[in-house]
Amino acid sequence: MATKKAGAKPNVSAEELLHYYREMLLIRRFEEKAGQLYGMGLIGGFCHLYIGQEAVVVGLEAAADEGDKRVTSYRDHGHMLACGMDPKGVMAELTGREGGYSKGKGGSMHMFSKEKHFYGGHGIVAAQVPIGAGLALADKYLGNDRVTFTYFGDGAANQGQVYETYNMAQLWDLPVVFVIENNQYAMGTSVKRSTKSPSLWERGAAYGIKGEEVDGMDVLAVKAAGEKAVEHCRAGDGPYILEVKTYRYRGHSMSDPAKYRTREEVQKMRDERDPIESVRTMLLDGKHASEDDLKSIDKEVKDQVNEAAEFSKESPEPAMEELWTDIYAKEIPQGEAV
């Protein structure tokens, strides 16, 4: 694999650009629909939308190979769609129905897919970080050259277990990419108000872990950084940290009073840095696609999301017996060694 200079725009084909456009749009439309279903009372509890952050996961998925693993927090819908999980199954889990990925027993924050190597969906801030390193330990132990993408937030970056994990991941050369999705807020607490060491990736240096900051509103920059990180891990050089600077447009969850930042701040991001708009402009300016081409993609995506929403309403609630199943396993349902 050719190494790209950090920061340099990699060459990218029209097909790839169109693919990223489609993937990001799918996440955005899906999340808007989820917000709408929440408003209608069809989705309950906590529901954390990924709107604004789409380029992070789409860029990193573009750097992943078959069999690579991923694990993240409760803000997980985008990750699931980007790794190829079925929007119908995800939406039906949000509505708590039998057709959901966890048969309605997990909810928005807890879904898994062995097939797509998606290991959750974790609700305790930063708990997924050692789990991600453990997945990487399994891969290393089994002697395959897979890499685990371990996503966590800027708020999670202040949890002790992150640093316990950094230490062991580097000590044991585990093939794990730590992706800090720095959307600048942990609920209502900005990074500035939670630490005097705001360059989160640099904290890895204390453990000897390399890393870098990445523009998370630019899908191509994320992809390029992801490729570099993956190459580092696959070469057996241990973990790598990507601090991806991004922004969430919506509230932390559905019940966010939005008092900790100004409307102007959000609007400015949307107007100037939107990751989908910028790919759209690239496609149009580069004459890789016409307005009509994009319109038809928009329509396809909208149909796909509507189909998922329909499915999530029609799928029945889980049968009462489900209350009592899946507490203990008889066989071993766990990740397949690839």
Partner 1 sequence: MATEILMPALSPTMEEGTLAKWLVKEGDTVSSGDILAEIETDKATMEFEAVDEGTIGKILVEEGTEGVKVNQPIAVLLEEGEDASAADDVSSGAAEPAAAPEGDTDTREAKAPAAAAQPADPPKADASPDYPEGTETKTMTVREALNSAIAEEMERDENVFIMGEEVAEYQGAYKITQGLLDRFGDKRVIDTPITEHGFAGIGVGAAFGGLRPIVEFMTFNFAMQAMDQIINSAAKTLYMSGGQMGCPMVFRGPNGAAARVGAQHSQDYAAWYASVPGLKVVMPYSAADYKGLFKSAVRDPNPVIFLENEILYGRSFEVPVLDDFTIPFGKAKIARSGSDVTIVSWGIGMSYALEAAEKLAGEGVEAEVIDLRTLRPLDYATVIESVKKTNRCVTVEEGWPVASLSNHLSAYIMENAFDWLDAPVLNCTGKDVPMPYAANLERHALITTDEVVEAVKKVTYR
Residues from 179 through 198 that contact partner 1 (CB under 8 A): none
- Between CA 66 and CA 64 the distance in angstroms is 7
Q: Which does 75 bind (CB under 5 to 8 A by kind): ligand TPP, Mg ion, partner 1, none?
A: ligand TPP
User: According to the binding rule CB under 8 A, does residue 307 interact with partner 1?
Assistant: no
118 CB burial (10 A radius; 0-12, 13-18, 19+): buried
The values of phi and psi at residue 30, to 5°, are -60, -45
Q: Which is nearer to Mg ion, 136 or 180 (CB)?
A: 180
Q: Which is nearer to partner 1, 231 or 249 (CB)?
A: 249
User: According to the binding rule CB under 6 A, does residue 78 interact with ligand TPP?
Assistant: no
Which DSSP state fits 217?
T
Identify the sign of the CA torsion 265, 266, 270, 273: positive
Residues from 210 through 269 that contact ligand TPP (CB under 6 A): 252
CB of 266 to ligand TPP, least distance (A): 14
User: According to the binding rule CB under 8 A, does residue 327 interact with partner 1?
Assistant: yes
User: According to the binding rule CB under 6 A, does residue 186 interact with ligand TPP?
Assistant: yes
At residue 80's C-alpha, the angle toward residues 324 and 109, to 5°, is 45
Residues from 278 through 337 that contact Mg ion (CB under 5 A): none
Closest CA to 238 of 165, 151, 181: 165
Stretch that binds partner 1, among 209-217, 222-230, 286-294, 312-320 (CB under 8 A): 312-320
- Between CA 325 and CA 316 the distance in angstroms is 17
Residues from 151 through 180 that contact Mg ion (CB under 5 A): 153-154
What DSSP assignment string belongs to 98-113? TTSTTTTSS-TT---B
Residue among 39, 84, 198, 236 that touches partner 1 (CB under 8 A): 39
Residue among 122, 228, 232, 280 that touches partner 1 (CB under 8 A): 122
Identify the sign of the CA torsion 326, 327, 332, 337: positive
Report residue 218 as tokens.
């630019």
Q: Which is nearer to Mg ion, 128 or 315 (CB)?
A: 128
- Between CA 283 and CA 289 the distance in angstroms is 6
User: According to the binding rule CB under 8 A, does residue 35 interact with partner 1?
Assistant: yes
Q: What is the dihedral of CA 214, 220, 223, 227, to 10 degrees?
A: -90
x-marked contacts with ligand TPP along 109-148 as a string, rule CB under 6 A: --------------xxx-----------------------
Q: Which is nearer to Mg ion, 73 or 304 (CB)?
A: 73
The values of phi and psi at residue 46, to 5°, are -90, 145
Q: Which is nearer to ligand TPP, 73 or 95 (CB)?
A: 73
CB of 246 to Mg ion, least distance (A): 9
- Between CA 194 and CA 24 the distance in angstroms is 30
Assess contact for 175 and 148: CB atoms under 8 A: yes
Residues from 249 through 288 that contact partner 1 (CB under 8 A): 249-251, 254-259, 263, 270
User: According to the binding rule CB under 8 A, does residue 119 interact with partner 1?
Assistant: yes
CB of 27 to Mg ion, least distance (A): 17
User: According to the binding rule CB under 6 A, does residue 154 interact with ligand TPP?
Assistant: yes
Which residues are 74's β-sheet partners? Answer: none
CB of 307 to partner 1, least distance (A): 15
Positions that interact with ligand TPP (CB under 6 A): 73, 75, 123-125, 153-156, 183, 185-187, 252
Interface residues with Mg ion (CB under 5 A)?
Answer: 153-154, 183, 186
